[in-house]
Amino acid sequence: MAIVPATQSNIHQAAQLIQSGEIVAFPTETVYGLGADAYNASAVAKIFAAKNRPTFNPLISHIADVDFLNDYVKIDERVTALAKKFWPGPLTMVLPRRQDNPALDLACAGLPTVSVRMPNHPVALALIKTANTPIVAPSANRSQSISPTTAEHVYNSLGNRVPMILDGGACRVGVESTIIDLTTPKIVLLRAGGIAMEDISDFLNEEVIISGGNPNLPSSPGQMLKHYAPKYETRINVTRPNDDEYMIGFGKIDGHINLSPSADLSEATANLFAYMHMAEEQTKYFKIAIAPIPMHGLGRAINDRIKRASYKD
Ligand code: TXA
Ligand code: MG
């Protein structure tokens, strides 16, 4: 079994695997990541292979120190201020890439931009520091399935395609990071995630525009509508489930399980993927229904993920 506890010596071993061009799964505060040395193209290629991920879909670099940025991105005062306020934490910034660092070509899918974040998790930070390199990491699941929030989820999705899965327990935030594009005059939200966009616009006193219009032509290549497809047909905004539906409740609208009986959006976010995994694993009902979730704060990320889950071709 590839799962090992995230002890200091196992983190050390994981860092050595990263340095020798291997891939390793590790916990972050959002979801588990599948990491490789950002500067090692053949290691990065292993990520795409293990996940069955199309290579046009770029990866996020994870750093443990803002000084890492100087090597590959152009930063300005706004970036520095956002980093100071929200890092370490679930904010990914898309920034103009320095053209003199071709080693990142595969990780960036050839784009002139690079996405970076500093995860707020002691195991992730220790791993990056020990490996002493930025670690690119998508969520540690097969492409187009639900992101993993426990080491077991990773193992169930990727099995022995990953030589080591560092187990750091369940992820505290539970959805992926918020991605904003800072390469355009106005900040664009590319993916709703673990930090509410209201917090970003309040902090900068600046409007954040929601990417889109056509959700099938996103500016973030990984944001296709059917990105998070559970195995059972899924219906959202449901107040009364049908007899054949496994109901995921929220607040007063109860179900077989309830994301947060007290209607707390942080709690609901943290439970979302684990409950969707549970809904997929149970075999009594062959359909899934999900209660309405308010569309503010972290609710935007939840609604985004469940909308994808309910998408039909
Ligand atoms: O919370 C997270 O962000 C997790 C943990 C492991 O850090 N990572 C994660 O990575 O969710 P992934 O690969 O599953 O999702 C990254 C998304 C993809 O939709 C990708 O297309 C987009 O970020 N992305 C990456 N680099 C980009 C860039 N330069 N421009 C636009 N979108 C980018
Ligand atoms: Mg993903």
* Segment 107-144, tens digit of pLDDT: 888 888 999 999 999 999 999 999 999 999 999 999 88
Distance from the alpha carbon of residue 47 to the mean position of ligand 1, in angstroms: 13
Q: Where are the domains of the chain?
A: 2-175, 233-309
Q: Each residue of 166-194: pLDDT tens digit?
A: 999 999 999 999 999 999 888 999 999 99
CA atoms within 13 A on the CB side of 172: 11
Q: Given this model, what pLDDT does residue 219 score?
A: 55
Per-residue confidence (pLDDT) for residue 214, from 0 to 100: 45
CA angle (175 as vertex; 211, 249 as ends), nearest 5: 105
Distance 251 CA to ligand 1 centre (A): 30
φ, ψ (nearest 5 deg) of residue 295? -95, 45
The answer, yes or no, to whether residue 215 has pLDDT greater than 50, is no
Cβ proximity of 156 and 132 under 8 Å? no
The pLDDT-based confidence of 216 (bands split at 50, 70, 90) is very low
For residue 217, what pLDDT band results from cuts at 50, 70 and 90?
Answer: very low
Give Rg (Cα) of the chain: 19
- What pLDDT score was predicted for residue 218? 43
pLDDT at 5: 98
- CATH number belonging to domain 2-175: 3.90.870.10
pLDDT of 244 reads: 97
The rounded Cα 111 to chain-centroid distance in angstroms is 20
Percent of the chain with pLDDT over 70: 95
pLDDT tens readout for residues 6-25: 999 999 999 999 999 999 99
Structure pTM?
A: 0.93
Percent of the chain with pLDDT over 90: 76
Q: Which two tokens stand for residue 7?
A: 């002890």
Query: Is pLDDT at 225 greater than 80 in this prediction?
Result: no
Looking at 3-159, list the stretches that DSSP marks H as alpha helix, in order from N- to C-terminal side. 8-19, 41-51, 77-86, 122-131, 151-158
By alpha-carbon position, which residue is closest to atom 32 of ligand 1? 220
* 241 pLDDT more than 80: yes
Summarize the confidence of residues 59-71 as an average pLDDT.
92
Lining residues, ligand 1, CB within 6 Å: 28, 30-31, 33, 57-60, 90, 92, 94, 108, 111, 113-115, 119, 137-139, 176-177, 179, 190, 220-223
* 168's tokens: 């750091």
Kindly report the length of the chain.
313
